[in-house]
């Protein structure tokens, strides 16, 4: 009995542990990428290498596990894949790493917490999200979006006095004209992915194709942007190689798998709620390892962004609960209904057995 209870507790703890480790991995990716950019690595070649690694990683799994369920390629699906690879790997990631290059890893991580609010805004505009102004959860999502955008503006515009850390070696600060505001592109891409999966329901294959096309398109953009400068492709056994491999494997490989498993088990709201943890980790490690300088305005902006994020998350969770008809998320409700059905079947079988014995 004790073993069963312990087993159940461990099973419940697994999603928490997985998401915490994932946030540490994401934070490590941001810091390693920033270190590589500081060493002079071109963000164009970095993006191309990263998605080449991801494509190599995903393709064998996609071929083996989705061989029977993968639908045929059509012109419409191919156009969507080309568009997705242009939006997410090429434009979005180049803007993200360009912004990180001229700011800090902390600033880039803070801006990423704006993404759920932008997702809600875009989904509302394109009618993917239903909003009822009179309902509290809809008001929370709208207010959270406003607060999050306001926090991003504070983070970008307000600097304030420096916060001296005893371990800091000097600040890099951040430039208000950064290109870290890539949120609209990545979330626009996710909306297109959701639509594409309806006609191409093979997640691994779709991811592999997006990464492959993204790598090819990224390489083409790099050749044009760098005017044929072949020096940007030179990589040795150094931080540049580590950044490309680490980012390709973890952020486009392990992270994809962990998030898919956790979202399937606990829902997307649970997964998103851990995002601010990586901001805290990056803030501390960025100051220690990269000597990034913290400012009061940046800290206030980050706190406001996280507050807005949790308002959006709370509103989304209440929205999911109201749709399921009780205080459970859809997946949990399905589990409960399944368990109830099993219990009813067992009870019915027990009654039948008792009646047979009586006869």
Per-residue confidence in pLDDT tens, the chain, 359 aa: 555 657 777 777 888 888 888 889 888 988 999 999 999 999 999 999 999 999 998 899 888 888 887 778 788 888 888 888 888 788 888 988 988 888 888 888 888 777 777 777 777 887 777 778 888 888 888 898 888 888 888 877 787 888 876 655 444 444 433 444 444 444 454 555 555 555 666 677 877 888 899 899 999 999 999 887 889 998 888 999 999 999 998 887 777 777 767 776 776 666 777 778 888 888 888 877 777 777 888 889 888 888 988 888 888 778 777 766 544 433 344 444 444 444 444 444 444 344 444 43
For residue 320, CA distances in Å to 98, 260, 270, 331 come to 36, 18, 12, 10
CA nearest to 313, candidates 100, 117, 124, 122: 117
Query: Which pTM does this prediction carry?
Result: 0.68
Helices 43-65, 203-225: inter-axial angle, 10-degree rounding:
160
CB atoms within 10 A of CB 125: 10
Task: Report domain extents, the chain.
Answer: 2-327, 331-359
Task: Kindly tell me the burial class for residue 288, based on how many C-beta atoms sit within 10 Å of its own C-beta (0-12, 13-18, 19 or more).
Answer: middle
CB atoms within 10 A of CB 22: 22
Distance between CA 345 and CA 230 in Å, rounded? 69
């Amino acid at each position: 009995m004790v073993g069963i209870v312990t087993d159940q507790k461990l099973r419940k703890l697994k999603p928490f542990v997985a998401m915490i480790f994932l946030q540490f991995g994401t934070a490590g990716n941001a810091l390693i990428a920033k270190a590589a950019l500081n060493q002079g690595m071109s963000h164009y070649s970095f993006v191309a290498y990263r998605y080449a690694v991801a494509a190599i990683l995903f393709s064998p799994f996609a071929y083996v596990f989705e061989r029977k369920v993968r639908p045929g390629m059509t012109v419409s699906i191919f156009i969507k894949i080309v568009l997705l690879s242009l939006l997410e790997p090429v434009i979005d990631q180049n803007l993200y790493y360009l912004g990180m290059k001229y700011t800090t890893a902390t600033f880039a991580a803070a801006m990423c917490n704006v993404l759920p609010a932008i997702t809600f805004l875009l989904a509302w505009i394109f009618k993917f999200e239903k909003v009822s102004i009179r309902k509290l959860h809809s008001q929370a999502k709208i207010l959270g979006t406003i607060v999050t955008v306001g926090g991003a503006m504070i983070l970008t515009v307000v600097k304030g006095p420096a916060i001296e850390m005893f371990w800091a070696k000097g600040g890099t600060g951040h430039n208000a004209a950064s290109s870290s505001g890539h949120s609209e592109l990545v979330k626009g891409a996710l909306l297109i992915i959701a639509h594409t999966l309806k006609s191409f329901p093979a997640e691994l294959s779709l991811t592999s194709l997006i990464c492959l096309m993204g790598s090819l398109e990224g390489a083409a953009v790099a050749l044009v942007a760098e005017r044929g400068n072949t020096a940007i492709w030179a990589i040795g056994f150094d931080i540049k190689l580590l950044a490309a491999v680490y980012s390709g494997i973890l952020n486009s490989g392990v992270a994809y798998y962990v998030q898919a498993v956790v979202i399937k088990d606990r829902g997307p709201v649970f997964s998103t709620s851990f995002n601010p943890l990586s901001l805290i980790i990056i803030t501390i490690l960025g100051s220690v390892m990269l000597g990034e300088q913290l400012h009061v305005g940046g800290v206030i902006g980050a706190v406001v962004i996280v507050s807005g994020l949790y308002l959006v998350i709370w509103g989304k969770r209440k929205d999911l609960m109201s749709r399921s008809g009780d205080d459970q998320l859809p997946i949990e409700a399905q589990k409960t209904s399944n368990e109830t059905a099993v219990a009813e079947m067992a009870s019915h079988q027990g009654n039948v057995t008792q009646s047979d014995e009586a006869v």
